Amino acid sequence: MTIVLDSGIWISGFHFGGTPLLALDQAFLLDRIAICEEIVTEVSTILMTKFGWRQPDVTSALESYLSEAKSVVLQGNFPAICRDPKDDMLFECAVLANAELIVSGDKDVLQVGEYKDIRVITARQYLSPHRSR
């Protein structure tokens, strides 16, 4: 299964651990992560500016998870999906990567629920053993 992880999942997982880190680990081990440069840039920028990470540490943290990732290039002409337009990149990334899931903790993203057969779920739902694969 191919999944897109919202930047908040990456940031929370790397900086705080817990459920978001477990979701990152599960995505890496059991599924295929889809990524775009825009998500990587947002994760890097927030970790460095808000949490004081150094660029080499961000690069190192991302490298291992993205070694097998499916990278897509966004076109930027995607229709508005979310209340917050900056979140539309997740849906464009998912569509271009033929992903089945978007994992997010963002209320605006979660509110969409499903788009073109791509389900939007929380990290906790993603980790649930009762979730159908």
117 Rama class: left (phi>0) / alpha (psi -120 to 50) / beta: left
Widest Cα–Cα separation across the chain: 38
- Among residues of the chain, what percentage have pLDDT more than 70? 97
**What pLDDT digit, counting tens, does each position of 93-120 carry?**
999 999 999 999 999 999 999 999 999 9
Domain coordinates in residue numbering, the chain: 2-127
Domain 2-127, what architecture? 3-Layer(aba) Sandwich (3.40)
Amino acid at 90: L
pLDDT band for position 129 (50/70/90)? confident
What is the pTM assigned to this prediction?
0.92
CA atoms within 13 A on the CB side of 101: 20
Q: Is the pLDDT of residue 133 over 60?
A: no
What local confidence, expressed as pLDDT, does residue 15 receive?
A: 96
pLDDT at 93: 96
